[in-house]
Structure 1
Amino acid sequence: MTNDPADPKPGTGLDMSNPFSAVPIEITVSVGKARPAIRELLSLGRDAVLPLDRRVDDAVELYIGERLIARGQLEEIEGEDDGQLAVRLTEVANLRDGLG
């Protein structure tokens, strides 16, 4: 292993020579969509249930902006962050070509 600062940190995939590699980005996780009629939407109140087009065990999609970058499964973190949601990636896009 070298100490070249241009080498990525092991296991991170980060190019430390690129000053933008440490800039945080926002990833949106989509669990599904709903298409209610406006009259249904207007009648929603507290404790209403809005059915989505996906099932609990279906894959979720990860987006940066409008671009699909990965798919995965929702998980609950155990231990110190018990109850926090996370996504286990099952399919990752080649960011140059997208996700097929």
Structure 2
Amino acid sequence: MADTPEAETGHPFTRVPIEVTVSVGKAHPKVKELLSLENEAVLMLDKKVEDPVELYVGDKLIALGELQELDGENAGQLAVRLTEIADLSNGL
């Protein structure tokens, strides 16, 4: 059993990718306003640019962070710097 890939790298589930969703805010338009949106319309969110973003796996909040734009080889790529990790047993 020691020759199996699982024995070399740990549990096989550790290699399964998950999706992390980053929430920057929410909008609360009325249906009438939503139906009248056109190209170039601006939908105001309930957050400011400097407010932390929330990271979720499924519907579970796992961390807070700050949006950042990468430099160098990945210039222009959007990223998140984690500022607070959730205590999953007690919440943030």
- TM-score, structure 2 as length reference: 0.87
CA drift of 1:70 comes to 0.4
Alignment of 1:40 with 2:29, yes or no, is no
Structure 2 distance, partners of 1:98, 1:34, is 28
1:25 matched residue in structure 2: 18
Q: Mind listing any 5+ residue stretches in structure 1 that lack a counterpart? A: 8-15
1:46-81 deviations in whole A, cap 9, x for unaligned?
A: 000000000001000000000000000000000011
Match of 2:81 among 79, 88, 98: 88
Task: State how 1:1-100 maps to structure 2 within 5 Å.
Answer: 16-95=9-88, 97=89, 99-100=91-92
Preserved contact between residue 69 and residue 98 of structure 1 (Cα < 8 Å): no
CA drift of 1:17 comes to 1.8
More helix by share: 2
CA drift of 1:99 comes to 2.8
- TM-score, structure 1 as length reference: 0.80
Structure 2 distance, partners of 1:23, 1:70, is 20
Give the 4+ runs in structure 1 shifted more than 3 A. none
**What do you get for the CA RMSD once the two structures are aligned?**
1.8
Letter in 2 for 1:78: D
SS in 2 for 1:80: helix
Q: Mind listing any 5+ residue stretches in structure 2 that lack a counterpart? A: 1-5
SS in 2 for 1:49: coil
Give percent identity, aligned residues only.
59
